[in-house]
A and B are shown apart, each in its own frame.
Chain A
Amino acid sequence: MGRLFVSPLIHFHVAAWVVLVGFASHRVAQTSHLEGRLAITQMSVALVLLQCVFLLPQFLEHWSIGLASPILWSPLVGLALVIGLHPFLECCTAIEQGLIQVGIGGCFIQLAGWLSMYTEPLDGSTAPLWPMALVMLLPLAICILLWFLGRSALAELHHMGLTPGMIPEGITLNDWDRQRSSTFERLETLTPRAMLAVPVVLVAMYGQMVDGMATWLGVDRFGYSEKHVLSQKVIELTGAAWGFAALKFALAGLVWWLFASARFEHRHRHLRLLVILCLLVVGLAPGLRDILRLTLAT
């Protein structure tokens, strides 16, 4: 069971949950006789309770449950939030609603373990909170600034019914590159700046910056070491982890450049999202894991 909670199996484990939630949400929305999305919320509550069955025994091996224990109230708060979010998710598709509700519920279950670990460390003391604040807030400030820079260009493209980086439906990439219509000119001119304000691209950039800063602080200030082969080689080349952080910030810029210059055909609309998801998986997830480990001294 322990293998399911460490890399790389944790990624397959979480992916299995995502596929289960997506499939179940889709089926429930199609077959349920209940009004609106009530059936999705019911399913989400059931799946969050199932996650409790899997995860809480792991926590109870190390901490006891009591009235003030995060192991008790954190999952309860999560369940309340899952139910409370119901009216606000009508604008989402059934799959999105299921993912948001089960994801948030799962976050609060995990939070129970993190808070228990912070308040009652298993071995050693916990680290101060300033590294977590720095790692999460500095990249956030940068992304907010970028969003302000790009939002007018994005609004102009949306007003024209265009998505930055996406070729209109029915046209191949080769045909798009050959034409010189006004639509082509506007999309090509505005996309680089508009891409600075696309939320999913900003999140991917944010993830890379978080990973870089978390690794830099963890290795250079708190004595951790890097476990990935290529990352370790970069650190060895520069002699310190700040080189890795610099590379990650450059990579964030590269993410922007990649999406600003790449053009996706309409049939590749899912590929575009999955590429961004991969960038999130290899950036934000390890970065948050690293800063959590650092804060919880594990």
Chain B
Amino acid sequence: MTEESPLLTETPLADDRFSLMERAALALILAAIVLFAGAIIGKDVAPGNALSELVQDNILDPLDQDATQGDAGYNPVDTAIYSLLLVAFVLVLSAWLRKMRVPARDASLIALIPSGRPSAR
């Protein structure tokens, strides 16, 4: 089926090549890291700047509240950020695992279930 055939008009990308979407996802993750680092540094360098305020109010404060007082809840900003990053990490990790030639067995997912145990907090 993979030999010459009039029905096969395209060749799949090689496993060690990244598609456009995978490269865009990697760029998104790197941008998020840079922006987050910038927000943390900006708290001291330029107090009150919009990015630092956004990160402090929507991400860091809820984390602190969850850890100290319990159940801060989520807000639309951090929900959107975490959702985008989740999708981006899925794309990048799948590309990385493919490139490393890690076997893709369903049993590997079953093996991960004990590691996904919930925290009781």
Could you list which residues of chain A lie within 8 angstroms of chain B, going by C-beta atoms? 2-3, 5-10, 14, 17-18, 21, 92-93, 95-97, 99-100, 102-104, 106-107, 110, 113-114, 117, 168-172, 174-175, 178-179, 181, 183, 198-200, 203, 225, 227-230, 265-278, 280-281, 284-286, 288-289, 292-293, 296, 298
Contacts and interface: CB of A to CB of B under 8 A. Distances in A.
Contacts of B97: 270
Q: Dominant SS at the A interface?
A: helix
Interface of B: 1-2, 7-13, 15, 63-64, 66-68, 71-76, 78-79, 82, 86, 90-91, 93-95, 97-98, 102-121
B115 A298 contact: no
A76 B20 CA distance: 49
A117 B121 CA distance: 11
The 10 A-B residue pairs with the shortest CB-CB distance, nearest first, are A103-B114, A170-B2, A289-B118, A269-B104, A271-B94, A103-B115, A2-B67, A270-B94, A96-B111, A6-B66
B113 A289 contact: no
B12 to A, nearest CB: 5
Given A95-B108, A172-B10, A228-B79, 6 more contacts: A95-B102, A96-B105, A107-B114, A227-B73, A267-B12, A267-B13
Contacts of A114: 120
Contacts of A266: 12
A7 B74 CA distance: 10
17 contacts: A2-B67, A3-B67, A5-B119, A8-B82, A99-B108, A99-B114, A103-B114, A107-B114, A168-B1, A171-B1, A172-B11, A174-B9, A178-B9, A183-B1, A203-B109, A285-B116, A296-B120
A288 B118 contact: yes
B75 A3 contact: no
A188 to B, nearest CB: 15
Contacts of B119: 5-6, 10, 110, 289
Contact of A14 (B10, B72, B115): B115
Contacts of A8: 63, 78, 82
Nearest to A284: B116
- For A8, A92, A110, A296, the residue with the greatest tally of chain B CB atoms inside 10 Å of its CB is A8
B12 A103 contact: no
A291 B66 CA distance: 19
Contact of A277 (B10, B105, B112): B112
Contact of A93 (B79, B90, B103): B103
Contact of A267 (B82, B98, B116): B98
B109 A200 contact: yes
A179 B98 CA distance: 26
B117 A107 contact: yes
A298 B120 contact: yes
A275 B79 CA distance: 18
Contacts of A10: 119, 121
Contacts of A18: 112, 115
A117 to B, nearest CB: 7
B74 A227 contact: yes
Contacts of A198: 106
Nearest to B64: A3
A286 B118 CA distance: 7
B75 A229 contact: yes
Nearest to A91: B107
Given A174-B10, A269-B104, A273-B104, A229 B76 contact: yes
